Amino acid sequence: MWASSSTASGSSASAVPPVVGLTTNVGGKPVTRVFGQPLDPESGNAPGALLKLIQYLQKRGKNTPGLYRKPVEEIAKEVDALRKGVMLEKDHLQVASYTNSPSTAAEVMRQLLAALPDPLLTCDLYDSFLIALKLEDRLDYWRLLLAALPPGFKATTEKTLSLLHLLHTHSTGQFPANGNYAQNLGPIFAPVFLRPRALGPHMAHDAKLAADVTQNLIEHMPSLFDAEEHARIDTNEVSNTTTQPVFLHTLRGSTAPAQ
């Protein structure tokens, strides 16, 4: 669910203001903007238009090889038409009314997520997700972090990862020549899930780390959201601001600053 202009919360995830200009024109009709609107952090649901795209891709996308490999230029007109459909119909979107191409729906879904002011895993947890890569119990660590997300971010993350995991398992099984599909999806969706609050000198290296984290989250998605699983790590480790900078500099292969 998208945040309304009056949404307020103390978390940094909800502190991002809505996109400038709440309305736009589509075919001469004024409509509320969708692309670029922040998520409602307190909602327990993903946005309706996003869910419609995910449902379409769950049915039509899993048997489409190279779903995200088609150049956007080749499907630009269909992408534009479906984007307009998203803005006009929102929660009532009928994807098939605008395209018969899973690649088009996949690209519009990616664009909808990429336009979010906040990454799905929030800026606050950016370093924590990267740090977990080198931990033996990284799945427990990530599970704990995912559970700490605001409800709207957690719901949207779960729905998105569920689709990507489905695409990964079907592609890897049906099209083995394509290799590990999650490895291909990692760099594409890393900016959707993980972005820092401000750019820094390690962004090139961080991009590879973020892609690796995203690949792992896609591959292990079912266990990460299993309510019966319980994290077996010290919860203080997540928020330990003294050790995190040292650990992260080690992960990046650079010298840690003096403490």
In sequence order, the 6+-apart residues with CB closer than 8 A to the CB of 239 are none
pLDDT digit string, tens, across residues 100-155: 999 999 999 999 999 999 999 999 999 999 999 989 999 999 999 999 999 999 99
| Element holding 50 (H helix, E strand) | helix 48-60
State whether CATH 1.10.287.130 applies to domain 119-259: no
Confidence of residue 221 (pLDDT cuts 50, 70, 90): very high
The continuous run of DSSP H or E covering 32 comes out as: strand 29-32
Residue positions counted in the chain: 259
- Does the pLDDT at position 4 exceed 60? no
What is the rounded CA–CA span in Å between residue 161 and residue 189? Answer: 10
Statement: residue 231 has pLDDT above 50: no
Q: 25 falls in which pLDDT band (50, 70, 90)?
A: low
CB 60 within 8 A of CB 96: no
Residue 13 has pLDDT above 50, yes or no: no
Q: Comparing 246 with 171, which gets the higher pLDDT?
A: 171
Q: In the predicted model, is pLDDT for residue 178 greater than 60?
A: yes
> pTM above 0.95?
no
Q: Which part of the chain is CATH 1.10.555.10?
A: 119-259
Tens of pLDDT, residue by residue over 50-77, are 999 999 999 999 888 778 888 899 999 9
Question: Residue 243 has what pLDDT?
Answer: 45
